[in-house]
Amino acid sequence: MKRPVSLTIVVVLQWIAATIGVISGFDQIAAALQLRDAEAADDIEAALVNTGVIDVSGESLVSGLLVAGALTLLIAFVRVMVAVYLARGRAWARMLIAIVAVINLIAGLGFLVYGEWWRATAVMIVELVILGLLFNAKASAYIRDRDGAIVS
């Protein structure tokens, strides 16, 4: 059975998200290293104290940015792996993408708290489209056919 276009679209979206993740991850790491090289941690800490935040050190924020960049790269790698296995018709990959989509739907509601209805709407539409593409009849038949062949 040929892979449905709907699953191919989801695979491409996962690759795009992974590419954005790689760019973001390297950007975060570069920013953290630049801040560390510029010895900006003391300036960051002073700015935090001026705004009333006294329990956070500037160095911990710089380190946190470095860790966030590394985690973003790891998540991007996982997205690529999941996209590869979704393209091969693996049910676990579809479920993992669906779980991430539902989490993003819930997180999208958080934008409403800040009054960003347009961003909330965009996130929710994209995630609902992904869920629809993942679970339509052709996608389900393809995954059932491909994943069942592996188990047998």
Distance CA 71, CA 115 (A): 28
- Residues for the chain: how many in total? 152
Which band of pLDDT confidence, cut at 50, 70 and 90, is reported for residue 142? Answer: very high
Structure tokens at 125: 């539409």
Phi, psi of 57 (to 5 degrees): -90, 150
Tens-place pLDDT, residues 67-99: 999 999 999 999 999 999 999 999 999 999 999
Q: What element of type H or E holds 23?
A: helix 5-37
Per-residue b/e over 115-127, b at no fewer than 16 CB within 10 Å?
Answer: eeeeebeebbeeb
